[in-house]
Structure 1
Amino acid sequence: MTGKIKNSWHALISKINIYSPSTLAGRFLVVMFALIFTSQLLVNYLWEKEMESDRQQALAKVSTNVALRMLATIDYFVTQPAGIRKVTINQLRYMGGARYFITLNSDFIELSPYQNSQAQQTVVNVFKAVLGSDKHIFGQPKVAFSRPETLKVINNQTYLKDLPDNWGKESLMVDPLDLPVLVIQLKLETGEWLYLATLMPDSSILAEELSPAPLQTSYMAWMLTLLAFATMAIYFMVRPFEALSSAAKAFGEGLEPVTVSEQGCLEYERTARAFNHMQKNIRHYMNDRKQLFSGISHDLKTPITRLRLRAELMDDDNVRDPFIKDLEQLEIMVKSALQVVSDTDIHENAEVVDLDRLLNEITLAAQSVGQRAWLHTPFHPNGENNHGIYEVTGKPLALKRCLENLIGNGIVYGSPVNVYIKREDDQIIITIRDSGPGLPAGVDISTFKPYQRLEFGYKRNPEGHGLGLVTARHLVSIHGGNLKLRNHPDGGLEVILMLPV
């Protein structure tokens, strides 16, 4: 069970990472919007519950007062003799009508179906409770709401709107409002139905519920305005981090310290201070490394020279020749190590480099001395040339050394060499394929280790030292690119360079 929960949690985190914004500002904004929207929903829910509770209490109080007043009228007619009730109702109409619309009907009047709201249902329940508790009323009163334009009175064929004005219909029909009419029908012991209709004193409490205040249009507009200001604030907050990212990229490409401002929030100040300190330490380390190798070279030249002179004085050729060969190899290794230091510490200004032209120069130079290396460029229809397609901003000498190194390796270990260049979106891909045996299985990563050599390579070039690929990979990385090796299915080794435009 624990494993399933853990897998579900990891799946959820993975989906969040996929669909969430990639920038820090975007994630800040999403979190802020989610918090504000969630808080508004919670406030809306609590506000609505509180308002509905207050509304129901006020509605019950008003309904009880109206029900008690109507109960007095009903008691008056119920306690009268049957013969006097109609006379009383006629006199009320003659005198201008009563507070309520009152008639005596011979039948129960069926009201048109009406979709009651929660507030109206509360009124109906209060009236039934008040009227049902009176000792003069026998049977259950019929209480319901009806619309004035469909309200029937006297019988099931007569509508309120068809009655004469002196019958008091104006007390129930308030144009242009369409207020619901409360109708009470009570069966008397004589077989007649006492019919009363009225409007609630405060009809607004029966109106359809409005949109909750926290989610009204004006409030949402204010919330979006606040989010817009928050977006601007977040942008200014994260802008120093963008400058820090650019400085880190520039330092990684040229190893030249780029001092960043240390002003900002506490977290940024600490990060910027640590970054500036790291740049100084790395630069000092590079200088110290260069000085160390230079010192080693200088210190080794004298003893190597002395040993060579002493070896020349040996009489035994069988002892002297191997000794001199070892000294020569030691001297070459020292020079190679110094060359690696100088090659990976190139101080050049970045400029636009046309890789197509550069590769063409390198392959033509190789062909001029009898080496087999060819450049293959994709064909562009409609007579288009390659001008500007394969241009990158970088260090020309570093790129030239890198490509010469890789193409030269291909010529030495697997001639002939075919070089391919193509562009995919904002990336230029250079593929250098030789015709050698390729890499044995499982050694492609170890090939990038200094002084790591394969048996085939040692046989083809015993004087090599296994530093070429290490140097090339470093030169590609300072340009923000990547270098990888793989065996071609049809034989040979492929070296793939991917450089950003």
Structure 2
Amino acid sequence: MFGQTLSVLLAGLIASHLVGSWIYSMDRSQIVRAVGGAVIAQRITNLSRLVQDASDDWRARIVAALSDETFKVALAAEPPRTSVTDADAPAADALRQLLTEQLSTGGSGAPLVSVSQPRGIMVGLAQRMMDQHPMMQGFGGMGPLAGFREMQVAVPLQDGQWLVYSTVLPDSGGAFSLRFLISMGVMVFITLLVAIWVVRRVTTPLTALGQAAQRLGEDLNAPPMPETGTVETRQAAHAFNAMQSRLRRMIEDRSQMLAAISHDFRTPLTLLRLRAENVDDPIERERMLSTIADLDAMVAATLAFASDGESRAPHRRTDLTALIASIVDDMADGGLPVRMDEAQPIVLECDPASLKRALTNLIDNAVNYGGSAVVAISNSARGIEIAIDDCGPGIPEAELSHVFEPLYRLESSRSRETGGMGLGLAIAQSIVRAHDGQLTLVNRSEGGLCALIVLPASRF
């Protein structure tokens, strides 16, 4: 969001600046040409009156003295043949009207004016004007001649001769000059700094809200968000803290209810166990005691699963390899077919008690349903991988998406010895998710099932 918002602001700013610069350049071009034309028209008017009032002997001398490299003046018997393009017609008409008014001429004696791109000798003339007049260096930003127009003016004299002037008319040039690019770069830099500060100020509360939501997913008793900042930020933080409080109360109420149910169940179960002991038929007595034990185990497993969402112990650095080795050794000492592949020590910041419970559930499943368990731990590109393989029949592909559901059992009987409570995998998955990990079950190609735990490397 930070990058997108910043990009949109900069794109809009640059686009508006370019359009504004183009409009300003067009307006400036008209002003510069109007002022330049007025100055040249005034000079032509004064020189024409001077030549008109001079005697025939002095005209040639005056014309020769007035002419220079940037302002050519000559006497001609006929006016020069020129053509005006549609683009240059407005400028030529404006100059012709101005000269006509100042020279008080009209009709067939009106001056002839043409404005066009510089050609031939006028190209060098325009370049020399730029070199000689520093004030004109800013014109023609898209090239040394782009800001000029060649102008020819033929003024009729009373004796039938024509006084011909040749010069160049300055224009404002292109909008994208070096100064413009420098000013735009400075503007973009300053605006970028301000935009970064503003956008960061706006998006920081959203980042804090996301981090708070992540903490809430890991620990329901995480500290509440600070209710600071703008009005909207305070409202969002207050709503989030209220939601966290409601969730905490809901979980606490559920746990208290289940604990009360469990406590209330224990009393009748104990009474039933005592009465079952007094049954004379040993077979019936064993069946009743077995059913009571199933009920007791079911209540305990359900309470353990329900209380799993409550606050957990603080995470601490733990050698996972040693933790798994201790579980395997304990089971192997009990006569279970469990072994562990050799592995290097791998340290993880975690809750060792809950992880031990999840691993024990998975290894128990491998032994009970697969006949044996082989545990391996390693580092990979995805993180820490813990694989628990067995040699059993595996799980049908259609059932792999359901085995993590609470109280779901593949074994159809109601026997605790064969079907279990259906909560082992659900509890293990909940614990792994609390560590930002992932638990998946995959049927092995050589037979059996692989329970794979992947814990993120960020917790190393």
Q: TM-score, normalised by structure 2?
A: 0.75
Q: 1:185 to 1:143 in 2, by over 3 A?
A: farther
Residue 381 of structure 1 corresponds to none
For 2:115 and 2:269, the matched residues in 1 are separated by 119
Residue 30 of structure 1 corresponds to 7
For 1:469 and 1:223, the matched residues in 2 are separated by 57
Residue 196 of structure 1 corresponds to 164
Summarize the alignment of residues 59-458 of structure 1 with structure 2, pairs less than 5 Å apart.
89-92=59-62, 96-97=65-66, 101-103=72-74, 123-124=91-92, 135-136=107-108, 146=118, 150=121, 176-177=132-133, 182-183=151-152, 196-199=164-167, 205-206=170-171, 208-211=173-176, 215-314=180-279, 322-341=287-306, 345=310, 347-376=312-341, 386-387=344-345, 390-425=346-381, 427-455=383-411
Q: How many residues align?
A: 432
Q: CA deviation at 1:472?
A: 0.6
1:67–1:127 CA contact under 8 A, matched in 2: no
Aligned residue identity for 1:298: H
Aligned residue identity for 1:221: V
Q: TM-score, normalised by structure 1?
A: 0.69
Q: 1:458 to 1:354 in 2, by over 3 A?
A: farther
Q: 1:63 to 1:431 in 2, by over 3 A?
A: farther
For 1:30 and 1:299, the matched residues in 2 are separated by 63
Residue 3 of structure 1 corresponds to none
Q: 1:267 to 1:102 in 2, by over 3 A?
A: closer
Q: Deviations over 1:95-127 (max 9, x none)?
A: x4479744457999999xxxx9x7x77645656
2:437–2:454 CA contact under 8 A, matched in 1: yes
For 2:73 and 2:200, the matched residues in 1 are separated by 71
For 1:209 and 1:238, the matched residues in 2 are separated by 40
Aligned residue identity for 1:197: Y
Q: What are structure 1's unaligned runs of at least 5 residues?
A: 1-23, 78-83, 153-158, 161-171, 379-385
Residue 48 of structure 1 corresponds to 25
For 2:391 and 2:416, the matched residues in 1 are separated by 14
SS in 1 for 2:398: coil
Aligned residue identity for 2:60: N
* RMSD across aligned positions (CA): 4.6
For 1:329 and 1:425, the matched residues in 2 are separated by 43
Q: Deviations over 1:170-227 (max 9, x none)?
A: xx97963498764457999xxx996723446xx5x43533537995423431342232
SS in 2 for 1:490: coil
Q: CA deviation at 1:248?
A: 3.2
Q: What are structure 2's unaligned runs of at least 5 residues?
A: 137-147
Residue 453 of structure 2 corresponds to 497
2:63–2:73 CA contact under 8 A, matched in 1: no
2:370–2:393 CA contact under 8 A, matched in 1: yes
Identical positions, percent = 26
